[in-house]
Chains A and B, each alone.
Chain A
Amino acid sequence: MPSALRAEGLTVRFGGNVAVSDVSLALAPGEILGLIGPNGAGKTTLFNALTGYVTPESGRVSLFDRDITRLAPHERARAGCGRTFQTERPFEELTVLENVLVAAFLHEPRRSGAERLARETLEQVGLGDRADQPAGDLNLARRRRLELAKALATRPRVIFLDEVMAGLNPPALREMIAFVSELSRKGLAVLMVEHIMEAIVELSDHVIVMASGAKIAEGAPEAVMRDERVIEAYLGTD
C-alpha cells in the first residue's frame, strides 16, 4: 500500500518550547487517522508543520512519496493537501459561493467550471441554499461546513480536519460523521484532530495520542482508549 502522507521525526520548536517532538506518522489513501490529546499537546502545530504553515526544526514530510518538506503552504495545497482551520476563517466579505469559488479555481481555471465545482461542493456539505449569503453572517455549524467545502473544492488527496466537530449539536454531529466517513470511502486520506471521542472511535482506522508535543500512544481506537498512559495524560493535565 503506498502511503498518501508520511512524516518522519517532525520536531517543531517555538523559542525554548518544544511544541512537537519527534513525531512520525503514515496514512494510506482511504484511511482515517485520528489525532487526540489534551489542549496544548501540539496537534494543531503538527497540522501546521504537515501543511507548511510552520517550519519544523527537523524531520521530513512526503505526499505520495514526493518530498514536500520544503514546500510553502500554497505549493502543498497544489500538491494535494487540503486543510481546515481550527478557528474557521471564511473570507468574510465574500459570499458563501465566492468563498468556495476561490478554492475551486485551483484546478478549474475557468469561471464556468469553477462555479460548477463550487456549487456541487456546497450541495455536498449541505450549504447549497446559502450560496449567496455573506460568509461573515453564517453561524458556527455552517462556518464549519464552509471550511470543509473550501478544503474539498481544492480536490485534495489528503485532507486535514482540525476539530471540525467541536460545538456541533447531536444531529449536526451525526451528519458530519457520516460525511467524513463518505470522504474516506471515496479514497481520500483523512487526518483529523478531534476531542469528540464518539467521532474518533467511530471513524478512525488508527489513532495517535499526543501529550506535551510527543506521541505517547497509537493503535486501534478502542485499544488506545484503554491505554493507561492515555488516561493519565487526559486526567493529569486537565
Chain B
Amino acid sequence: MRTHLLGLAAFVALGLAYPVLFPSALTIAITILLFVGWATAWDVLGGWAGQVSLGHAAFVGLGAYFVAIGVTEYGLAPWWSALLGMAVAAALAFAWGWLTFGLRGPYFTLSTIAFAEILRLVAINEGWLTGGATGVFIMTLPEPFGLDLFDRQTQYWLALGFAVLVIGIVVALSRGRFGYALRAVREDEDAAMAAGIDPKRTKLKAFMLSGALTALGGGLYGIVLSFLEPHVMFYLLLSVQIALTAIIGGRGTIWGPAAGAMVLIGSGEVFRTTFAEANLLIYGVLILVIVLFAPRGLVGEATRRAIRRRYAKRAQS
C-alpha cells in the first residue's frame, strides 16, 4: 500500500513537472494521460475481474457526447454533463452485463463489440440529438472558476487529475474486500462462490465502475477534440487500443495499464513521426515482442518475479 501511494506521489510529481519541462508537447501528454485513465479503468473489469471488453469506446463516446450535447444544447455545466454521462454509462454497463455475464469465455468479449456498435448506430441515426454522421462541434464552453477549457494547459491538468483519480481508486480497492472479490472471480468462479462471493454481482459492479470512469475521460476527450463524430468516438480501434494498452502493461496490476499507455501511446507517436509509413509494422513488432516475452504484461512479469524473489529470500533466512 505504502509503495503504491509513493508511486502515486511520484506520478503526480512527474505530472506537475512535465508542462514546465515540455510546454510545447502538451497534446501528446494529454493523450497519454487519457489512455492511462482509460486503460486503468478498463482493467478494473478486464484485468481485476478478468472480463475482457472490446467495447470501451462506447463509454468514451457516451461521455464525450453527454458533455458536448449537455453543454451546447441544454446549457448544462460541463461537470454536470460529465456526471450525467457517467451515470448513464454505469446504467448501460449494468444492463449489458446483466444480459451477457451469463456467457462464459469469449462470448462476453464479442458482445461488447456489438454494444459499442449499437451506440455508434444510435449516434448516427438519432441526428436530431447527436448531429448524426456529421457530428457535433463544441464551439463555446462556459468558463467555470475562470478556467478556459479550450486551453491546452487547462486540459492537461484535467487529464492529469483524471488519470490520478482512476489510479487512486484502483489503489484503494486493490487491498480491500472488493478488490479481492474481483480477483477471486477472475481466477475461479466456483471457488469464489465457496467464499460467499456473488460472481455476477461482483462483475456488474466492476463493469459499472469501469464504464463510468471511462466515460469521465470521454467527456474530457470530447472537450479536447471539440469535434465529435460517431466514427471516431465509438471506433472499434479505440476499444482495441484501450484493451491492448492494459494487456501489454499488465492486466490486474495497479501500474500496468499506466505503463502500457506510456510505452504504447508514447512510442506510437515517436514511430509515427520518425518511421512514417513503417510505423504500424514496428508498432506491431513491439507488441509481439512484449506478448512473447512478457505474457503477463510488463508490470505483471515484474511483480510476479518480485513476489517469488521476496518469498525465496525470506524462506532462506
Residues of A within 8 A of B (CB): 51-53, 72-75, 77-78, 82-83, 85, 89-95, 98, 101-103, 105-106, 109, 111, 114, 129, 132-134, 150-151, 153-154
Please state if B196 and A154 are interface contacts (CB–CB under 8 Å).
yes
Closest to A104 in B: B195
Given contacts A92-B187, A102-B192, contact A132 B314 (CB under 8 A): yes
Please state if B177 and A150 are interface contacts (CB–CB under 8 Å).
no
A83: min CB distance to chain B, Å: 5
Contact among B177, B188, B194, B314 with A105 in the assembled complex (CB-CB below 8 Å): B177
Q: Which 4 A-B pairs have the closest CB atoms?
A: A91-B187, A77-B196, A73-B193, A106-B196
Inter-chain CA distance A114–B177, complex, in Å, is: 9
Please state if B310 and A102 are interface contacts (CB–CB under 8 Å).
no
**Chain B interface main SS type:** helix
Q: Mark B170-206, 1 if CB is under 8 A from A, else 0.
A: 0000011100110110011011111111110000000
Please state if A105 and B187 are interface contacts (CB–CB under 8 Å).
no
Inter-chain CA distance A91–B179, complex, in Å, is: 14
Please state if B190 and A102 are interface contacts (CB–CB under 8 Å).
no
Asked whether any CB of chain A lies closer than 8 Å to the CB of B292, the reply is no
Give the chain A neighbours of B191 by CB distance below 8 A. 85, 89-91, 150
Please state if A85 and B194 are interface contacts (CB–CB under 8 Å).
yes
Inter-chain CA distance A75–B197, complex, in Å, is: 8
**In the complex, chain B residues 293-317 whose Cβ is within 8 Å of any chain A Cβ:** 304, 307-308, 310-311, 314-315
Give the chain A neighbours of B310 by CB distance below 8 A. 132
Give the chain A neighbours of B307 by CB distance below 8 A. 95, 132, 134
Please state if A77 and B187 are interface contacts (CB–CB under 8 Å).
no
Give the chain A neighbours of B184 by CB distance below 8 A. 91, 94, 102
Closest to A93 in B: B187
Please state if A102 and B176 are interface contacts (CB–CB under 8 Å).
no
Please state if A133 and B197 are interface contacts (CB–CB under 8 Å).
no
Closest to A109 in B: B177
Contact among B176, B177, B192, B311 with A132 in the assembled complex (CB-CB below 8 Å): B311
Please state if A134 and B195 are interface contacts (CB–CB under 8 Å).
no
